[in-house]
Structure 1
Amino acid sequence: MRKKDVPIVAQSTETTDWVSRYADEVSAESERRAPGKPVVVASGLSPSGPIHLGNLREVMTPHLVADELRRRGLTVRHLISWDDFDRFRKVPAGVSGVDESWAEHIGKPLTSVPAPKGSPHATWADHFRSAMEAALAEMGVEYDGISQTAQYTSGAYREQVLHAVRHRGEIDAILDQYRTKKPGKGADGGGQGAKGQGGKQQKPADEAELAAAEGSGAAAEEDGSGGSVGYFPYKPYCGACGKDLTTITAYDDDTTELAYTCEACGHTETVRLAEFDRGKLVWKVDWPMRWAYEGVVFEPSGVDHSSPGSSFQVGGQIVRAVFDGEQPIGPMYAFVGISGMAKMSSSRGGVPTPADALRIMEPQLLRWLYARRRPNQSFKIAFDQEIQRLYDEWDRLAAKVAQSAAGGEDAPAVLPADAAAHARAVGTAAGELPRTPRPLPYRTLASVADITAGQGEQALRILSDLDPEHPLDSLDEARPRFDKAEAWINTYVPAEQRTLVREGADTELLASLGESDRESLRLLVEGLDEHWSLDGLTGLVYGVPKTMAGIAADAAPTPELKSAQRAFFVLLYRLLVGRDTGPRLPTLLLAVGADRVRKLLGA
């Protein structure tokens, strides 16, 4: 076993999962390129706004591969480049504490833009990066963070910048092969915006023009062409106003003297590029430069990078021709959607972030959603009622895996890919993630949270009644899952769908009932004490209509019986909560309590 007894997830076979297959390729490729050295995988995120769940795929894809390699005993560096030296391109919509006055900062580096009002952080970049860092920590993602502001301003890339400038003719010739394409029509145009609003965004081709119009994609960025000195792959930030609205007017290759003027404030300046660190390479040169500088072997990219002239495609030529390096291997990843919402675009505001998801789901579930789908498969993350079905599916898988591990003749078969995805979700090479001691069904916890409305003692009573032989000693046994379910109820369930138990009996409805309905209610009330547990009440509410129909308790359901059960359930809901639907009836009955149930049912 490796550290903390975490096993290798899966060996490489035709039936194994996508992570292991990529790990095989990356391990072999790294050994070919740099024998005996750490394997380097990379992600890139721009803290230009909320870093959303689509951007999380930029991190999770290499993280899962890196973690598999660590399980095999290899040393791996997962680099996350925080593109905080990118320009602030527009004021994003829907960000609290931000108004149009932030427009005065457009063109400055993200680390020079003030944070939203009320933020504990000093800069725009720090504000949005910190939220992502906290989410990654909760999810167990191990990485080395690199601030591109720190890299550029410290002079770490100085030789690479001078090298790119010396070879600008070669770069220009490569880019010129694609300049017949208009930005947003298949070519992403270069510039640091390829990582968009917090990551190399995955835009289907039919959305490229829309993204360009929003100013949130790489299509909005220049590639270094069109200046008065011809093609130049470097963009200085103005020494007076700090913006990148600069035009290079002269450059001397021998002395590296560079002159520029600023369109924003009119400032002019002459500097020596060999000593100047207040600027950066344009994106289509910056990205391949970093591949070579860091020795990146594996890095995924969004589907927009599959188009001719995209940053990934052009970068592959530039890294070989100019920086004597190699392009990383890695998949194009598909987009991540949200149940009931359109494709995420952080420039429009209101897009869910990993922090939003982790408020309503445990990190294991969120990891599983990314681990079980190949990168080229799109999927959705549920913020609506679908989250309950996802949790049911996750719990069934966890139960099967546990039963399979226990062995025995009746142990269920678990597909290798499913078992691997589960193992990758519950922990990393460093060990298992913290988990809920008593992982009760999410839909049950949500119902209890809905009914109790923050009353912890009542919630504990109800949850203890679910299994009277094994009651909870405290709510901590059901946490953090209970807290996640409560947050979902309070945040994403509309007020009209919340459950409010009636204060008193609906005397008018009770008076209108026929003899059959009265008898059904009597049978239910009489059976409460004997069946006061989740399983017992489940059998009771389904069994009363069987008794009324004169059929055995274990009889197979018929269409007529199902209809009678539905009618009985509707009657109970109306008498208990004044609606035709609500939480699962056994949970609702436990929540209301036997004495109050009797009162509301007219007993």
Structure 2
Amino acid sequence: MPIVAQSTEADWVSRFADEVIAEAERRAQSTGKSGTAPTIVCASGLSPSGPIHLGNLREVMTPHLVADEIRRRGYDCVHILSWDDYDRFRKVPAGVDPSWAEHIGKPLTSVPAPPGSAYPNWAEHFKAPMIEALAELGVEFHGISQTEQYTSGAYREQILHAMRERGRIDAVLDRYRTKDKDKAAGGAKKPQNQQQKPVDEAEVRAAEGSGAASEDDGSAGGAGYYPYKPYCTVCERDLTTVTSYDDETTEMAYTCVCGHAETVALSEFNRGKLVWKVDWPMRWAHEGVIFEPSGVDHSSPGSSYVVGGQLVREIFDGVQPIGPMYAFVGISGMAKMSSSKGGVPTPADALRIMEAPLLRWLYARRKPNQSFKIAFDQEIQRLYDEWDALERKVADGSALPADAAAYSRAVSTAAGELPRTPRPLPYRTLASVVDITTGHDEQTLRILRDLDPENPIGSLDEARPRLDRAENWITTQVAADQRTRVREEPDTELLASLGDTERESLRMLLDGLDEHWSLDGLTHLVYAVPKLQAGLPAEAKPTPELKVAQRTFFALLYHLLVG
């Protein structure tokens, strides 16, 4: 089937899908395969160096939504997710045993998992919750471990090609290097002796500062520029310097700050990787990627994406993918997220307090270059109100096309509908109810049943999972001093101090409970008691004096019920 662009909905996802399909057709024509339907490749990349947060989720959701739209149109499309688990371990996060510093410079898959983890290494520990969250979000992807790719020799030819073309690569990179960067890339002298020395953190820091491991584009020392960084076969770290390379034999010599030095045949050696600015464009060509977004930090002059566009064309005979820049995602009340600092909310955290369709909607309704915030505070209630209002508009056909498209992408994928709450009661109401009942199922059901006497809810399962999300929000995100705690025991001291008027008001309230046991009925009764005590009918309009009496009665009830 020939690939023909066709826009079905007026939103940013459809427009990118149009571009990607058109680019797929252009590439097919350029290779003489026009008329066929090759698999369209969209891509993401995540480094499991720490908690994968909600800002990182945009790296996945943007291509997911585009790939899903392409699948909805009937095309074969794969969304590959490269796990950059062969990246180096850069720093020990706060809260982790400082002794983990001995692993700085090792691949993430060679670093032990944090204490108490059930996973075999650092990378798997942080990948697992993300994989689980993506499944709940309905994100279908093909995962690729870069550790497996490099250590299996999958990139052998690309690595050897990059080493042969190192001079041309260096020339491309040199167009963007600043004088300061050139100076930093000089490379430190490494010990030549073969005996391994104990790990010295001062040496590690010095080596990183010299450009030995900190540069994204490799180092150009006295031995020349090399786009490949070996991991030492003794200490496993990348605090190494390539000292020579022979294109014919592929023999590569390197030294490490640990004291080890050796010569290996790169045609057989699988313990190292291309530096990032070369690795990324190599993968674009290798995978045939047509769409891959990147953060704003990758879009500045000399950044990975900009330089990669030239390297993929000039060195790897490939094409740079369509790569929109995506803006940062913030959290209500928090600064810009950084996974390296820790303590930032992850997709799993968000899915504990909101349903998957709502979280999908937040990413679908904003263009990638528009920043937005995800609410973990009181704003989540307004967000849910907005979502419910949109659902009503979609149901009655009054939603704008772009809003309706975002809603459709939130509640379903090409594979089908996401699980939803059968009776989506207002989130703020559910939060208030579970706050008062402290999660007591019987009391919660009793109150929720009275919300709609004409069509009462039959069981709490009808209100789930939204009910559970609201309860999690109350228990994890609302400060203890802002929560409602109904007294477990009567305030006998206060009751004993009440006068006749106050006692009478409480007797009138208790006598009327059976007859007024509904939210509207209780509201009417509480306001009516001071009126009846004043000899006025329950429907009387309040006077200034009556308002004072009502406030006094309300305060008494608050003290007796919640302290």
TM-score greater than 0.5 by the shorter chain: yes
Contact 1:506–1:575, Cα closer than 8 Å, also in 2? no
Give the aligned partner of residue 240 of structure 1.
234
Q: Which amino acid aligns with 1:444?
A: T
Q: Does 1:177 align with 2:161?
A: no
**Distance change in 2, residues 1:569/1:512 (3 Å):** closer
Give the aligned partner of residue 464 of structure 1.
449
Equivalent positions of 1:189-588 (< 5 A) are: 220-263=214-257, 265-404=258-397, 413-502=398-487, 503-504=489-490, 528-537=513-522, 567=551, 571=555, 574-578=558-562
Offset of residue 226 of structure 1: 2.5
Offset of residue 222 of structure 1: 4.3
Q: Distance in 1 between matches of 2:386 and 2:499?
A: 40
Q: Distance in 1 between matches of 2:115 and 2:476?
A: 23
**Distance change in 2, residues 1:564/1:392 (3 Å):** farther
Q: Distance in 1 between matches of 2:475 and 2:62?
A: 31
Tell which deviates more after alignment, 395-404 or 348-357.
395-404
Give the aligned partner of residue 200 of structure 1.
none
Q: Distance in 2 between matches of 1:18 and 1:551?
A: 60
Give the aligned partner of residue 29 of structure 1.
23
Contact 1:39–1:77, Cα closer than 8 Å, also in 2? yes
Q: Distance in 1 between matches of 2:550 and 2:371?
A: 36
Q: Does 1:63 align with 2:64?
A: yes
Tell which deviates more after alignment, 314-323 or 223-232.
223-232
Q: Distance in 2 between matches of 1:78 and 1:421?
A: 20
**Distance change in 2, residues 1:242/1:468 (3 Å):** same
**1:390-410 CA-partner distances (Å, limit 9, x unpaired):** 112111211222233xxxxxx
**Distance change in 2, residues 1:504/1:282 (3 Å):** same
Q: Which has the larger radius of gyration?
A: 2
Q: Which amino acid aligns with 1:84?
A: D
Question: Identity rate of aligned residues, in percent?
Answer: 72
Offset of residue 458 of structure 1: 2.6
Tell which deviates more after alignment, 461-470 or 437-446.
461-470
Give the aligned partner of residue 582 of structure 1.
none
**Distance change in 2, residues 1:304/1:531 (3 Å):** same
Q: Distance in 1 between matches of 2:530 and 2:75?
A: 61
Give the aligned partner of residue 199 of structure 1.
none
Give the aligned partner of residue 76 of structure 1.
77
Offset of residue 438 of structure 1: 1.8
* Structure 1 unaligned regions, length at least 5: 1-9, 188-213, 405-412, 580-603
**Distance change in 2, residues 1:261/1:387 (3 Å):** same
SS at match of 1:275: coil
Give the aligned partner of residue 86 of structure 1.
87
Contact 2:229–2:273, Cα closer than 8 Å, also in 1? yes
Q: Distance in 2 between matches of 1:416 and 1:363?
A: 22
SS at match of 2:311: helix
Offset of residue 23 of structure 1: 1.1
SS at match of 1:466: coil
SS at match of 1:450: helix
Give the aligned partner of residue 51 of structure 1.
52
Contact 1:542–1:565, Cα closer than 8 Å, also in 2? no
Offset of residue 528 of structure 1: 4.4
Q: Distance in 1 between matches of 2:124 and 2:78?
A: 23
SS at match of 1:226: strand
Q: Distance in 2 between matches of 1:542 and 1:416?
A: 45
Contact 2:530–2:553, Cα closer than 8 Å, also in 1? no
**1:16-48 CA-partner distances (Å, limit 9, x unpaired):** 211111111111111211352111110000000
Which of the numbers 163, 166, 173 marks the counterpart of 2:164? 166
**Distance change in 2, residues 1:514/1:75 (3 Å):** farther
Contact 1:88–1:107, Cα closer than 8 Å, also in 2? yes
Offset of residue 154 of structure 1: 0.8
Contact 1:228–1:248, Cα closer than 8 Å, also in 2? no
SS at match of 1:42: strand
**Distance change in 2, residues 1:297/1:534 (3 Å):** farther
SS at match of 1:221: coil
Q: Distance in 2 between matches of 1:565 and 1:290?
A: 74
Q: Which amino acid aligns with 2:288?
A: G
Offset of residue 377 of structure 1: 1.0
SS at match of 1:274: coil
Offset of residue 92 of structure 1: 1.4
Offset of residue 578 of structure 1: 4.5
Give the aligned partner of residue 97 of structure 2.
99
Q: Which amino acid aligns with 1:132?
A: M
**Distance change in 2, residues 1:573/1:25 (3 Å):** farther
**1:169-190 CA-partner distances (Å, limit 9, x unpaired):** 111111111111656xxx9xxx
Q: Distance in 1 between matches of 2:73 and 2:530?
A: 57
Tell which deviates more after alignment, 445-454 or 358-367.
445-454
Q: Distance in 2 between matches of 1:417 and 1:432?
A: 19
Q: Distance in 1 between matches of 2:549 and 2:424?
A: 29
Contact 1:332–1:375, Cα closer than 8 Å, also in 2? yes
**Distance change in 2, residues 1:77/1:551 (3 Å):** farther
Q: Distance in 2 between matches of 1:317 and 1:440?
A: 53
**Distance change in 2, residues 1:523/1:425 (3 Å):** farther
**Distance change in 2, residues 1:485/1:321 (3 Å):** same
Q: Cα RMSD between the aligned structures? A: 3.3
Offset of residue 445 of structure 1: 1.8
Q: Distance in 1 between matches of 2:399 and 2:528?
A: 34
Q: Distance in 2 between matches of 1:107 and 1:125?
A: 14
Contact 1:545–1:568, Cα closer than 8 Å, also in 2? no
**Distance change in 2, residues 1:533/1:311 (3 Å):** same
**Distance change in 2, residues 1:446/1:167 (3 Å):** same
TM-score under structure 2 normalisation? 0.84
Offset of residue 493 of structure 1: 1.3
SS at match of 1:231: strand
Q: Distance in 1 between matches of 2:162 and 2:493?
A: 83
Q: Distance in 2 between matches of 1:181 and 1:519?
A: 86
Contact 1:337–1:379, Cα closer than 8 Å, also in 2? yes
* Structure 2 unaligned regions, length at least 5: 1-5, 29-33, 185-207
SS at match of 2:44: strand
**Distance change in 2, residues 1:378/1:549 (3 Å):** farther
Q: Which amino acid aligns with 2:558?
A: R
Contact 1:301–1:331, Cα closer than 8 Å, also in 2? yes
**Distance change in 2, residues 1:485/1:83 (3 Å):** same
**Distance change in 2, residues 1:156/1:465 (3 Å):** same
Which of the numbers 115, 122, 134 marks the counterpart of 1:124? 122
Q: Distance in 2 between matches of 1:539 and 1:25?
A: 60
Q: Distance in 2 between matches of 1:256 and 1:133?
A: 38
Tell which deviates more after alignment, 569-578 or 430-439.
569-578
Contact 1:440–1:478, Cα closer than 8 Å, also in 2? yes
Give the aligned partner of residue 194 of structure 2.
none
Offset of residue 101 of structure 1: 1.2
**Distance change in 2, residues 1:180/1:400 (3 Å):** same
